């Protein structure tokens, strides 16, 4: 089975559109990430200022002398916090984010009946109390909010890498696989595809095929979603009309 020229053209257009979208989203992620890091930096600066005021008040009471807490020290503390935030983000696996299933986060003592209404209608004080009730889960949630800037910036890097991968897509190989799959109602084993085209660079092709929305990789093989089948049918029909 050979790929069609119409399908090749369709893949080129689709990859070009997705590449442009990835670049656009990457630029937007950088802009939003810079803003988020900027706001987080000054939030950390404000916390450093509050800490300095508290320490100065304590030293004023104890030693009748204010603790020096200059501007450059607050800036250094805020910058150090941003560095630690990036370090924490890069060291945390994406699979561990959003996981709050810790022992102290397990609902107990009527939390299911009362916790939700209290957090929703109890105001800021009672809502804060619910967060303090499960400190470990709450601290993870706060850290993930503070990591918004680093996550946007690293996400932009991933989007640019995806755009580069889309630019290097083998449209001929992808079209051949899509043509082979469209002629089958179920999934096609990978071994069968590799045997039908032994000269193909399959390790590279498998990686590229995963970037196509509508391809389903199953344990038994590969198949197309119904939406992708419906989208491809006019291409094969036009090719048969031309021939």
Kindly report, residue by residue over 216-233, the tens digit of the pLDDT. 998 888 999 999 888 888
Give the bridge partners for 223, in sequence order: 216
CA diameter of the chain: 95
Query: What does DSSP assign to residue 217?
Result: E
Q: Are the C-beta atoms of 8 and 175 separated by less than 8 Å? A: yes
Q: Both 102 and 204 in a single domain? A: no
Q: Are the C-beta atoms of 33 and 197 separated by less than 8 Å? A: no
Q: Which two tokens stand for residue 106?
A: 């397990």
Helices (H), 168-219: 171-182, 190-196, 202-209
3-class secondary structure, 218: coil
Instruction: Establish if 6 belongs to a structural domain.
Output: no
Instruction: Establish if 7 belongs to a structural domain.
Output: no
Instruction: Establish if 225 belongs to a structural domain.
Output: yes
Looking at the 3D structure of the chain, how many domains does it have? Answer: 2
Using CA atoms, how far apart are residues 224 and 231, in angstroms rounded to an integer? 11
Per-residue pLDDT for the chain (243 aa), expressed as one digit of tens each? 444 578 888 999 999 999 999 999 999 999 999 999 999 999 999 999 999 999 888 888 888 888 888 999 999 999 999 999 999 899 887 776 666 555 554 555 444 556 556 656 666 666 666 666 666 777 778 888 899 999 999 999 999 999 999 999 999 899 999 988 888 888 899 999 999 999 989 999 999 999 998 899 988 889 999 998 888 888 776 555 554
3-class secondary structure, 188: strand
Instruction: Establish if 1 belongs to a structural domain.
Output: no
Q: Both 45 and 136 in a single domain? A: yes
Using CA atoms, how far apart are residues 105 and 99, in angstroms rounded to an integer? 10
pLDDT in tens, 146-192: 999 999 999 999 999 999 999 999 998 999 999 888 888 888 999 99
Q: Both 24 and 136 in a single domain? A: yes
Q: Which two tokens stand for residue 196?
A: 């039908």
Q: Give the range of the structural domain holding residue 229, as residue numbers without chain letter.
A: 170-242
Q: Both 156 and 176 in a single domain? A: no
End residue of a domain, out of 163, 180, 214: 163
Q: Both 156 and 193 in a single domain? A: no
3-class secondary structure, 152: helix
Spatial neighbors of 22 by CB under 8 A, at least 6 apart, are: 159, 160, 162, 163, 166
Question: DSSP string of 32-69?
Answer: HHHHHHHHHHHHHHHHHHHHHHHHHHHHHHHHSSPPP-
Q: Both 183 and 215 in a single domain? A: yes
The pTM of this model reads: 0.75
Helices (H), the chain: 5-63, 71-91, 111-121, 123-133, 135-146, 148-167, 171-182, 190-196, 202-209, 226-242
Query: What does DSSP assign to residue 201?
Result: -
Q: Both 136 and 174 in a single domain? A: no
Using CA atoms, how far apart are residues 91 and 20, in angstroms rounded to an integer? 30
pLDDT at 141: 80
């Amino acid at each position: 089975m050979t790929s069609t020229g119409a399908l090749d053209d369709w893949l080129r257009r689709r990859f070009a559109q997705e590449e442009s979208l990835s670049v656009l989203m990457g630029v937007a992620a950088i802009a939003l990430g810079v803003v988020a890091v900027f706001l987080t930096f000054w939030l950390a600066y404000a916390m450093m200022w509050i800490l300095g005021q508290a320490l100065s008040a304590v030293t004023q009471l104890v030693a009748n002398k204010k603790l020096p807490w200059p501007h450059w020290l607050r800036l250094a503390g805020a910058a150090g916090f941003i560095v630690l935030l990036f370090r924490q983000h890069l060291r945390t696996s994406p699979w561990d984010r959003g996981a709050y299933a810790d022992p102290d986060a397990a609902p107990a003592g009527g939390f299911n009946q009362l916790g939700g209404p209290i957090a929703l209608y109890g105001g800021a004080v009672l809502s804060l109390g619910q967060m303090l009730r499960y400190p470990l889960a709450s601290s993870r949630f706060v850290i993930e909010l503070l990591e918004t800037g680093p996550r946007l910036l690293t996400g932009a890097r991933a989007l640019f890498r995806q755009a580069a991968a889309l630019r290097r897509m083998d449209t001929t190989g992808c079209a051949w696989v899509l043509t082979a799959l469209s002629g089958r109602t179920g999934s096609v084993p990978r071994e069968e595809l590799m045997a039908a085209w032994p000269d193909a660079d399959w390790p590279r092709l498998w990686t590229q095929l995963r970037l196509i929305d509508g391809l389903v990789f199953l344990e038994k093989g590969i198949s197309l979603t119904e939406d992708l089948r419906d989208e491809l049918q006019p291409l094969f029909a036009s090719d048969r009309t031309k021939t």
